[in-house]
A and B are shown apart, each in its own frame.
Chain A
Amino acid sequence: MSSPTGPIATVSALVRANLQRLLREKSNYFFILALPLMIVFALGVAVADSATSSLIGVVNETGSQTASAFRHRLNAADSVRLVDMSSEADLRLAIARKAVDAGYVVTGSEGHLKVEWFAAPEANLELRSILQSALTETNVRGQVAQVVADQERVPLTEATDLADKAAEIAPKVEVKVSHDDDAGSIAGAIRSSLAGGQLTLFLFLTAMAGSGYLLTSRLYGVTRRTQAAPVRIGWIILGEALGRFVVALIQAAIIFFGSILLFGVDWKEPLAVWLLCLGMGMVGTGAAMLLGTVGRSEQQVGAIATTLSLVLAAIGGSMQPLAFFPDTMRTLAFLTPHAWMNDALWTILVKGGGLAQVWPAILVLVAEGLALLGLATWMMRRSLR
């Protein structure tokens, strides 16, 4: 049986051989699947409600009705989530640890209740103003009853009844709350861009893991021997790269679909986001091939891959939204592929853009990926000469 020749056959044979080498070792399945699943979990936590609401710790052992009415009103504010705690010490620790943003402790008994507010020294004035408003609302009924009691010289219980009756007939200020739908929610935006940033970070990180494989092929002399056959260096690199690209894509798919299925992350424009993932996968694979070509030992390559993945991600806006960068840093950020993808994800997730707006970013990623592959080929050719 004669086998077909030509570049396509060569590349596909290399891809097959590389994938076989990867999949023969059962423990590799674990690594290929475990990291993306961990990332899905991280994404899930990043998009959780609590990542962007303000958390207020509540310590209330008084059993007072007024205190629980107050709690109820505070809970109605839509940026606030209340967390019940058992003691002032717990509250202080939670604030110190930033598990909650601030908190209050109710002491005393009905009629003589005191609310003590705890917060970090510099921050959270807005939370205190929300607390104060809820307090005013809660207090006013009792204050009116007191005034009526003084004014009409009747006992407090009678005054309360009188005030309640008067409240029914008195004209009321009407408060209407509406939402301007054209404006996006900042909180939602931060949440989306956090999730997007994690996607970018880990796509690159998992793809970079491929550098070790090219390196071992090279170190064990497999690459040199493959070269003995009438095969061009470019095809060898492409064969290695495609194999790793397939693995990177499988991992990207796990992250992408896992986050949708398990945590209901809404990627808004799935096609555009998926194309961005492909682009980032190419950049990661290209960088991995380059590193595998120039690296000297597996440990060295592993160390550089991890460091590069995290540092580029930090500069490129994966750990903090680009929108909150100082100006110079934001400009510098676009030297990294990460910034291109994160910015495109911000356009899609926050500004409601689609493929029409983000295709330049996809193009940049693909071009960078190809450039890195080209560079890797050139370096490999030099090293084998």
Chain B
Amino acid sequence: MIWTLLMRDLGSRLRDRSALVLAVIAPIALVTVLSLLMGGPDTKKIPVGFAPDSASTVSKALQDGPLQQLTDDDVIALTMYADRAEITKAIDKGTVDAGIAVDGDSVDVIKGGGIVAGAIAEAVARSTAAAVDGVTTAVAADRMRGGKADPETLAKAVLAAKPALDLGDATPVGVLDTKAQLAAGMATLFLFFAVQFGVLGLLEERRSGTLPRLLAAPLAPWKILASKVLTSLVLGLISMTLLISYSSLALGAHWGNWVGVSVLTVSGVLAAVATVTLVAGVAKSSEQAAAIQGMLAMGLAILGGSFFSVARSGGIAAILSRITPHYWYGEGLARLAEGGTLTAIRTPVLVLLAFALVVGVPGLMLAKRTVRA
């Protein structure tokens, strides 16, 4: 009996273009547009200007040391200038984002628009100055004791001395693929729109008068409710599955371990269905329910980081972010990307299921009243 109701509801929903638009077309369109925009200018080398002073030790140390290293590592693109004024001109024109001008023992760091470029230029200037000062100090100490050590040798010795803090190689950490992150954001945003087409149908049927007629049939009221909830569940799963498949097959997004993604997705859809069930139980009319659900879908998505990471900002926003299913879905995907196995996503999955229970059980109780009334 539930099966018959479910198939009837699903059939009519899949023919209804609004459900199709919000559950499938809109998220696919958005993910496609946003992934097209990602093909923009790549992260280029950072343009930095340098005005050397051939007679200066610091100048030589900078040029042969960190500036050469950063150029070799493709971090910066170095352009040479005659003096400070030329660098300033180049910054104003936007040719370079920051610059270093050396005159004797004086190092000028000029920061322009690029905040990273300015930070690199300053860091390089300060560390080179510190190293050169170190060598001067070592020479001065030697002279204080009446020594005659060769400054070159001392300089090499300082560079070769064991550092107090030793920097090891970089350890790579797996991060969630940008395209998958984008698709996950849009998928969870529209999931909350997609699921409304099942449960909220209760309120429509009540308005149009088909609900009392259904109740007149020899049919337990809970079966009617169950069929609506199942419709939401199936719509949510279809929406998520299509977007995940589309983004991986057509856009090349890497979602990670399939089993993990599936477990997360089912838990996320349950949380969304629970939310819309509560809305159906609380709202007075189908218009009101759709408005509340729309507001919740947008609000939870903003808070949960579907558009941009709220968790980064720290403070209250980051804490509030953690009450949304969107956050935990993203957290689960990140844990999978970091190399986590199924046990790593235990917490996100449990939080999503707990959300579904805490919101869904009162939702079901309230929605059941709607069926009876």
In the assembled complex, B350 has its CB within 8 A of some CB on chain A: no
Main secondary structure of the interface of B (DSSP, over half): helix
B interface size (C-beta, 8 A): 119
- B154/A170 in contact, CB under 8 A: no
- On chain B, the residues within 8 Å of A182 by CB distance are 91-92
Provided the pairs A147-B158, A166-B141, A320-B34 are in contact, do residues A184 and B338 lie with their beta carbons within 8 angstroms? no
Residues of B within 8 A of A117 (CB): 167-171
B263 at interface by CB-CB < 8 Å: no
Give the size category of A's interface with B: 35 or more
From residue 101 to 136 of chain A, which have CB atoms closer than 8 A to chain B?
Answer: 106, 110-111, 113-121, 123, 125-126, 128-136
Q: Please give, as numbers and ranges, the residues of chain B lying within 8 Å of A248 by CB-CB distance.
A: none
Interface string of A161-201 (1 = CB under 8 A from B): 01101110111111111111011111101000010000000
Least CB separation from B145: chain A residue = A152
Are B110 and A151 in contact, with the CB atoms below 8 A?
Answer: no
Mark the stretch among B1-9, B18-26, B235-243 that contacts chain A: B18-26
B133–chain A nearest beta-carbon distance, Å:
6
* Pairwise interchain contact A78-B124, C-beta atoms closer than 8 A: no
- The chain B residue sitting closest to A216, CB to CB, is B287
Q: Are A183 and B108 in contact (CB under 8 A)?
A: no
Given A50-B313, A173-B129: A162 and B168 interface contact (C-beta under 8 Å): no
Q: Point out the residues of chain A lying under 8 angstroms from B40, CB to CB.
A: 320, 324-326, 329
Shortest CB-to-CB span from B247 to chain A, Å, is: 15
Cβ 8 A contact of B314, one of A83, A148, A179: A83
A111 near B164: Cβ-Cβ < 8 Å: yes
Q: Please, which residues of chain B bring their CB within 8 A of the CB of A185? A: 113, 115
Q: Are A302 and B294 in contact (CB under 8 A)?
A: yes
How distant is the Cα of A132 from the Cα of B105 in the complex, in angstroms?
A: 23
Say how far B28's CB is from chain A's closest CB, in angstroms. Answer: 10
What separation, in Å, do the CA atoms of A329 and B33 have in the docked complex?
9
The distance in angstroms between the C-alpha atoms of A114 and B169, with both chains bound, is: 11
Q: Is A142 an interface residue (CB 8 A)?
A: yes
User: Which residues of A sit under 8 angstroms from B303, Cβ to Cβ?
Assistant: 41
Please tell me if B217 contacts chain A, counting CB pairs below 8 Å.
no
Please determine whether B173 and A55 come into contact, CB atoms closer than 8 angstroms: no
Q: A93-B334, A173-B107 are in contact. Are A143 and B33 (CB under 8 A)?
A: no
If A35-B295, A130-B123, A304-B21 touch, whether A183 touches B164 (CB-CB below 8 Å) is: no
**Does chain B have a CB within 8 A of A13?**
no
Q: How far is the CA of A310 from the CA of B299 in the complex (A)?
A: 14
Nearest CB in chain A: distance from B193 CB, A: 7
Which of the segments A2-10, A227-235, A293-301, A362-370 contacts the partner chain? A293-301
Decide if B123 touches A129 in the complex (CB within 8 Å): yes
| Nearest CB of chain B from residue A142's CB, rounded to whole Å | 4
A306 touches which one: B168, B193, B331 (CB < 8 A)? B193
Flag if B127 contacts A326 (CB, 8 Å): no
Q: Mark B20-48, 1 if CB is under 8 A from A, else 0.
A: 01100110011001101101110100100
Q: Which residue of chain A is the closest to B92 with respect to CB atoms? A: A182
Residues of B contacting A315 in the complex (Cβ-Cβ under 8 angstroms): 33
Q: Are A326 and B92 in contact, CB atoms less than 8 angstroms apart?
A: no
B 125-174 contacts with A by CB, 8 A: 125-142, 144-145, 147, 149, 154, 157-159, 161-174
Give Cα A115 to B307, complex, Å.
34
**B312 to A55, Cβ gap below 8 A?**
yes
B228 in contact (CB, < 8 A): no
Given contacts A77-B123, A143-B134, A178-B110, contact A120 B147 (CB under 8 A): no
Stretch of B68-76, B219-227, B272-280, B364-372 with 4 or more beta carbons under 8 angstroms from chain A: B68-76
Contact A180-B112, Cβ < 8 Å, known A77-B119, A171-B105: yes
Q: Are B118 and A41 in contact (CB-based, < 8 A)?
A: no
Residues of B within 8 A of A144 (CB): 134-135, 137-138, 141, 158, 161
Excluding A139-B164, A307-B25, 19 further A-B contacts by CB distance (< 8 Å) are A93-B338, A96-B173, A123-B43, A125-B74, A141-B134, A172-B133, A173-B129, A174-B106, A174-B107, A176-B108, A177-B122, A178-B110, A186-B114, A300-B17, A302-B18, A303-B17, A311-B30, A320-B37, A326-B41
Residues of A within 8 A of B (CB): 27, 31, 34-35, 38-39, 41-42, 44-46, 48, 50-55, 66-67, 70, 77-80, 83, 92-93, 95-100, 106, 110-111, 113-121, 123, 125-126, 128-144, 146-148, 150-152, 159, 162-163, 165-167, 169-180, 182-187, 189, 194, 205, 212, 297-300, 302-304, 306-307, 310-311, 314-315, 319-320, 324-326, 329
